[in-house]
Chains A and B, each alone.
Chain A
Amino acid sequence: MTAPVHGSASFWRTYVFSQDHKVVGIQYAVTGLLFLLLGFTLMMIMRWQLAYPLRPIPIIGGWLGSANAPGGIMLPEFYNQLGAMHGTIMVFLGVVPLAVGGFGNFVMPLQIGASDMAFPKMNMASYWVYLCGGLIMVASFFVTGGAAQSGWTSYPPLAVIAPGQTLWLIGMVLLITSSLLGSINTIVTVVQLRAPGLTWMRLPFFVWAQFVTAFLLLLAFPPLEAAGALQLMDRLAGTSFFMPSGLVVTGQPLPISGGGNPLLWQHLFWFLAHPEVYVLILPAMGIVAEVIANNTRKPLWGYRALVYAVGFLGFMSMTVWAHHMYMTGMGTTMSTFFQITTMVISIPSVVILTVLMLSLWGGSIRFTTPMLFALAFLPMFGLGGLTGLPLGLAPTDIPLHDTYYVIGHFHYVVAPGTIFALFAGIYYWFPKATGRMMHEGLGRIHFWGSLICMNIVFMPMFIQGLGGMNRRLYDGGLQYAHNAPLLKWHVVIAMAAWTLGLFQLPFIANFFGSLKWGTPVDRNPWHATTLEWLAPSPPGHGNFQTIPTAYRGPYEYSVPGAATDFTPQFEPDAQ
């Protein structure tokens, strides 16, 4: 946040319609955090319904309106709306904007020593388009018929005939447009605006992660935009892109021409959505790498391996999409192909995790709050990643597909995985963005509470999933005999989820309180080596007082013979 310079720019230009990448980044980050909170709130409401099906929701039950929850008891339609919107909000409105729009925008240009993004106006536009898309999504709860209720995957024909989907599609088109603008901007900035001396192999790993992520957004999102447009046509113009002939809905033949293909949507959707999950994880890995290097006080071990792995991961992520579709009737050739690519793609993840872990070896590890979150990321992502393997093998996916095992798998990667990495990033770069530290004690409460609760929330889901309990069940699986021994876990999970909510309060207090009361810091409170720590905290418009030059690699910590245990990239060689 730049201090407003009197007389030079208005309040609106400085804080609201700002083209400064740091302000845009903070706007993205705060909006993303608010959406995360919203998505989490929806889920806390859903967890009540799963734990105590058909019992009125205490306190807030009455606020939901009789169209959604008459007498405080949630209707199945509303449960489905909450589920679809939880997924959509978390992925597209929470994590991506925070990780890519927030951290990417704020940190990346600073780390490459640029004065701003390559296209500041486009940067501002991408935020506002994102915000419109997000508001449209939220508004869809308040129109008749409610929000989208066909899952975040929106499979037709259901999505075409179900209420609420139109605004979801329009919102998605806006979000995709915003991502496209942002990703072009990121790539151009990294290619063109690197400071003198900052060669490709001197880029901080975070920048690499953002760079590969931007390519994924650039190339994988357009097919979903196309698919969204086709589904909009199906809904609004009565076409049949995804509607086969001979549909009979509630006893009445549907008056459509037919001839479409419902699986076409799934291919287009997953062609985006698999790369999308790497969009969720790559920036997180980037943050973790920065924090680990800084807090072990030693160079990242195997930097090159990391860079190659992340590039390979990005490339491979476009080739695995049909592992979400094994149950649609897939021949042996197809399934073998996708099983192999799925196994191959786990290799770079193993490399990345191993490299980060081995980087700890020989360090002098400071357990600061950002470091705690970054460290927890490793085993949590490991658990999530490992449980991807039985899902990736087509035969073992048969009993697991569409059960809570899948939910457990991906929440381990996105919640204690990505979300923890994002927390690490917030604690780590907060002083740069505001000039003040966040409170360590509150940070530790937040960390330990979240770590324990997250595991109590998601670990039982593996048990439920292996026992055959399906996801997306309004009553939590009450109807089915084989679920009976698994129902008790719903109560445990619900309790842990609400406690997890409570443990976010210290964070929120810390976040806003530290703006005012945090300890003021100088430029480089963490004694870090990358370029962003050369700029003032907070950096003014234009970032650096003079254009920085990079003299060495990004993680020169504990260089033998050096006076301090860190030798920043911007420090000229002593001669």
Chain B
Amino acid sequence: MEIPYTVEARPDTGWTNGKLAMWLFLASEVMLFGALFSSYVILRAGATDWPRESLNVGAASVNTLLLLASSLMISKARAAATGGDWPSHRRWLWTTVVLGFVFLGIKSFEYSEHLAHGEYPSNSTFLAVYFTLTGFHALHIVGGLLVMLYLLGPGARLYTRNPRHFVNRVECTALYWHFVDVIWLCLFTLLYLV
């Protein structure tokens, strides 16, 4: 059975189902990270002292650049898919994936550094916040990468069957990826810089 408006936007609302769903999902994500960030602010504001281990700002800056670049890449992948340029779509999407994996690599290097120095989440509230928030974010990266790998692998078949539908999926993925990127910018500022 066909569900209407998966491919075409519904005229009176202007949405496709997937796009609307993605925005709703992002709204709930805003509440999720909003709760995490406000917990951080409340804990920090209420703390009498705030022991703070040094973080690897260099690595995190590289990571920030990587994510920004990957956001750009996925935009290009999206534009290519919309324009029907299949080979460059795949190229840009692969680049995004690779950048994402490099991000995770650097992130796990940072984690292992901390653990090697005996800096565990249980040591201080700061480390607890650091590990939990970046951990949540890393899980979101993993989720995004899985979706992109799907779009590059088994999901790519949809392009031949129904290119518009495929492009919708890429658009939603891009939306999500930008969001994860913005979250990282907030994390970077709040944890590493201030």
Contacts and interface: CB of A to CB of B under 8 A. Distances in A.
A and B touch in the complex (CB under 8 A): yes
Contact of A115 (B3, B131, B136): B3
Contacts of A239: 121-122, 125, 128, 131-132
Nearest to A118: B17
B42 interface: yes
A267 to B, nearest CB: 8
A79 to B, nearest CB: 32
Contacts of B20: 187-188, 191-192
Given A188-B17, A193-B3, A218-B28, A241 B125 contact: yes
Interface in A258-275: 259-261, 264, 267-268, 271
Given A193-B5, A264-B42, A257 B32 contact: no
B118 interface: no
Given A184-B21, A187-B24, A230-B132, A237 B1 contact: no
B36 interface: yes
Contacts of A223: 31-32, 34-35
B39 interface: yes
B132 A192 contact: no
A401 interface: no
B46 A192 contact: no
A219 interface: yes
Which of B4, B24, B34 lies at the interface centre, i.e. has the most chain A CB atoms within 10 A of its CB?
B24
Contact of A257 (B6, B35, B123): B123
B54 interface: no
A261 B3 contact: no
Interface string A473-509: 0000000000000000000000000000000000000
22 contacts: A118-B21, A187-B24, A188-B17, A192-B20, A193-B5, A222-B29, A222-B31, A222-B32, A222-B34, A223-B34, A226-B35, A226-B36, A227-B35, A227-B39, A237-B121, A239-B128, A241-B132, A257-B123, A261-B46, A264-B42, A268-B39, A271-B35
Nearest to B125: A259
A533 interface: no
A32 B20 CA distance: 29
Contacts of B190: none
A219 B6 CA distance: 24
A221 B28 contact: yes
Nearest to B31: A222
Contacts of A240: 122, 125, 128
Contacts of B5: 118, 192-193
Contacts of A267: 42
Given A184-B21, A237-B121, A542 B1 contact: yes
A257 B21 contact: no
B40 to A, nearest CB: 10
Nearest to B29: A222
Which of A116, A180, A185, A222 lies at the interface centre, i.e. has the most chain B CB atoms within 10 A of its CB?
A222
B3 A256 contact: no
Contact of B39 (A184, A225, A226, A542): A226
Nearest to A214: B24
B22 to A, nearest CB: 9
Interface string B101-136: 000000000000000000011111100100110001
Taking chain A's interface residues, is the majority helix, strand, or loop, or is none over half, making it mixed? Answer: helix
A119 interface: yes
B35 A118 contact: no
B124 to A, nearest CB: 5
B86 interface: no
Contacts of A261: 42-43, 46
Interface string B41-66: 01100110000000000000000000
B132 A188 contact: no
A-B pairs with the 6 shortest C-beta distances? A238-B122, A239-B128, A223-B35, A222-B32, A226-B35, A222-B31
B189 interface: no
Contact of B124 (A187, A259, A264, A268): A259
B162 interface: no
Nearest to A20: B1
A268 B35 contact: yes
Contacts of B150: none
A116 B3 contact: yes
Given A180-B28, A226-B32, A260-B43, 11 more contacts: A119-B3, A193-B3, A218-B28, A219-B31, A220-B31, A222-B34, A226-B35, A237-B128, A240-B122, A240-B128, A268-B39
Given A116-B1, A259-B43, A541-B1, A219 B132 contact: no
A119 B21 contact: yes
B125 A260 contact: yes
A192 B121 contact: no
Interface in A118-172: 118-120
B194 interface: no
Nearest to A180: B28
Contact of B15 (A192, A229, A238): A192
A64 interface: no
A42 interface: no
B193 interface: no
A238 B123 CA distance: 8
Nearest to A115: B1
